[in-house]
Amino acid sequence: MSKLKVTIDNKTIEVEPGTTILQAARQIGPEVAPPAMCYYTKLETSGGYCRTCLVKVTAGSEKDPRPMPKLVASCRTNVMDGMVVENYISPEVIDARKGVVEFLLVNHPLDCPICDQAGECHLQDLSYEHGKSATRYEFERRTFDKIDIGEKIQLHMTRCILCYRCVKVADQLTPERVHGVIHRGDVSEISTYIQNVVDNDFSGNMIDVCPVGALTDRTFRFKSRVWFTKPVDAHRNCDNEQCSGKVTLWQVGSEVLRVTGRKDQWGEVADFICNTCRFDKKETSDWVIEGPRKISQHSVISQNHYNKGTKFVASPVTLPNEVKQIS
C-alpha cells in the first residue's frame, strides 16, 4: 500500500498507513511534535486521556479537504493522504493547550522543590512552556495520603494526573494486575485495596513510565537531585529473558543511587527492565559500563556537564560524537 502524505506546521512527510498524527510529527522532529502525557509507544491502547496533544486539522485529506470541525487528539487520529495539520503555528491550539495544562494543574501540588521528579518531570516542562503564571481555581485541592503499593514503590496520588500508563504497564508486562483506577469522576484515584501488594518482577517499570512524581522509587527518594548525578549507560546479562539488561546508572562519585531504563528523546523507555536490575544491582561491579549517557543540553540534567559553546541538540539519540559528553 502506498504511503500517505501529511503536512504538519508546513513540513511535509510521507508515512505508512495507520500512522497517527503524533507519530508522523515525531518522525519530522521535536520542533513540530505535540507534547504527550499519556501516550506511550510501547504500551498498547495508551493515549486519548490527557488531551495535551490536541492539534488542528485544517484539511482532512486530498479527497476531502474540508477542515475537521474541532481540535483532535493527535495520538488517536490517523493520518489521511493530503492531510494538513497545525500545531505550534496555530494560536487556537496553543490557547487550548494552555487550558488543558491549567486543568492538569488544578489539583497538582506546588511541591516541585521537594519532589524527586523535579528536573525530569514532563508536567513541569509542559507547565513552563504552556502554563499560566497563576491559577483561577478557588477551591481546595484534593489530597491523598501517601501509600506504599509495593515494597520499593510509593504512590503519591496527590500528584497523579490519571494518565493510566502505570495501569497499562501492569496489564501488559505482568502476570496479573493488582492495582488500577477506583471510584469515578473527581474522586478517581490509582490505588490498591491492600498496601504493599504490588510485588511482580516488572512492577518497577511503573516508576519509569509515570510522567510526574506520583510513583517514586523508595530506594532513591530524597537522596539527590538528578542534576547532581552522573548518568551512565550500562548493561548486564540478566537471567530474566524478558529483561533487556540495558539500563542507565545514576551515580554520585562511584556510588550508584538508582537504576532506570534507558529513555529516548520522547521520555519513553526503549526496553523495560526487571526489578532485580532496578533495585538489587546497585554496585558498579554488577554492570558492564558502556560510557556516559548522552543527554540533550535542553535538559536540566545536562547543567554544568557541557563546555561553553556546545550546540543545543534536541535528541539524546542523535547527539553527534563531537558534542561534549557528560564528564
Q: What domains sit in the chain, N to C, each tagged with a CATH number?
A: 4-101 (3.10.20.740), 112-217 (3.30.70.20), 226-302 (no CATH)
For residue 7, give the C-alpha cell: 503536512
CB 131 within 8 A of CB 102: yes
Rounded to 5°, the CA angle 201-43-294 comes to 80
Residue 134 — very low, low, confident or very high, per pLDDT cuts 50/70/90?
confident
CB 97 within 8 A of CB 36: no
**Amino acid of residue 292:** P
**Amino acid of residue 176:** E
Q: What is the mean pLDDT of residues 18-47?
A: 95
According to the model, what pLDDT value does residue 303 have?
67
According to the model, what pLDDT value does residue 250 have?
95
pLDDT of 224-240, one tens digit each? Answer: 999 999 999 999 999 99
pLDDT of 81-105, one tens digit each? Answer: 999 999 999 999 999 999 999 999 9
- Exposure on the CB side of residue 128, measured as CA atoms within 13 A: 9
pLDDT of 36-87, one tens digit each? Answer: 999 999 999 999 999 999 999 999 999 999 999 999 999 999 999 999 999 9
- Nearest of 214, 149, 147 to residue 179 by alpha carbon: 149
DSSP strands (E only) in the chain: 4-8, 11-15, 54-59, 72-73, 83-86, 147-150, 153-155, 180-182, 189-191, 215-217, 230-235, 246-252, 255-261, 288-292
According to the model, what pLDDT value does residue 178 have?
86
For residue 313, pLDDT beyond 50:
no
According to the model, what pLDDT value does residue 193 have?
74
Strands 230-235 and 180-182: unpaired
Residue 320 — very low, low, confident or very high, per pLDDT cuts 50/70/90?
very low
- Nearest of 271, 266, 272 to residue 296 by alpha carbon: 266
Q: What is the mean pLDDT of residues 253-281?
A: 93
- pTM check: above 0.85: yes
For residue 184, give the C-alpha cell: 469515578
Which has the higher per-residue pLDDT, 297 or 273? 273
